[in-house]
Amino acid sequence: MVLSGCLGSKTIPGSQPQSPAVLVDYYRTGGIAGFNDRLVIFDNGIALVSSKTINSEIDLDQTDIDRIITLFDQAQFPKLEGNYSARPGSVDLIKYTISYESKTVSTEDTVIPPSLKPVIAELNRIVGMGASNEQTSLLAANLPR
């Protein structure tokens, strides 16, 4: 009798919604400012930004996603080396780790491949959107009702 309840509830294959896939996973750490930022962009346009002081969610539109994909294509990301390290003894550099389409590239300020600079600039812009989005949310939460 205990098992009879389980038999009546079948899950129809394909009825579960697909989880969004990670499009970009980006880390920015170090530097004089002591960055510790992470940006995860999903293929459905949701972007999660976290740092030492914020956790924010951004809705990117299809134009934003297309721009990001174009920048990675222009950078020829799959052809880049996996690691670009600065000279030993370099200090206060920002380290970037970017994963896109099952490839990860790590680089530092003084050795960023030129083709990767627009990608990093765009990802930093989105991180900044998350910070301003969080500040706007905090301001709205503190307004008198």
Q: What is the CATH number of the domain that holds 102?
A: 3.30.1560
Domain boundaries, position 137: 19-141
**Predicted local distance difference test score (pLDDT) of residue 138:** 41
Q: Looking at the domain assignment, is residue 128 inside a domain?
A: yes
| Cβ–Cβ under 8 Å, residues 137 and 55 | no
Domain membership flag for residue 1: no
Radius of gyration of the chain (CA): 20
Does 13 map to a domain? Answer: no
Structural domain count, the chain = 1
4 located within any domain? no
In a domain, 102, yes or no: yes
Residue 6 falls within a domain, yes or no? no
104 lies in a domain? yes
pLDDT at 88: 86
And the tokens for 92? 């206060």
In this prediction, the residues of the chain whose per-residue pLDDT falls under 50 are 1-11, 135-145
pLDDT at 14: 57
pTM of the entire predicted model: 0.78
61 part of a folded domain: yes
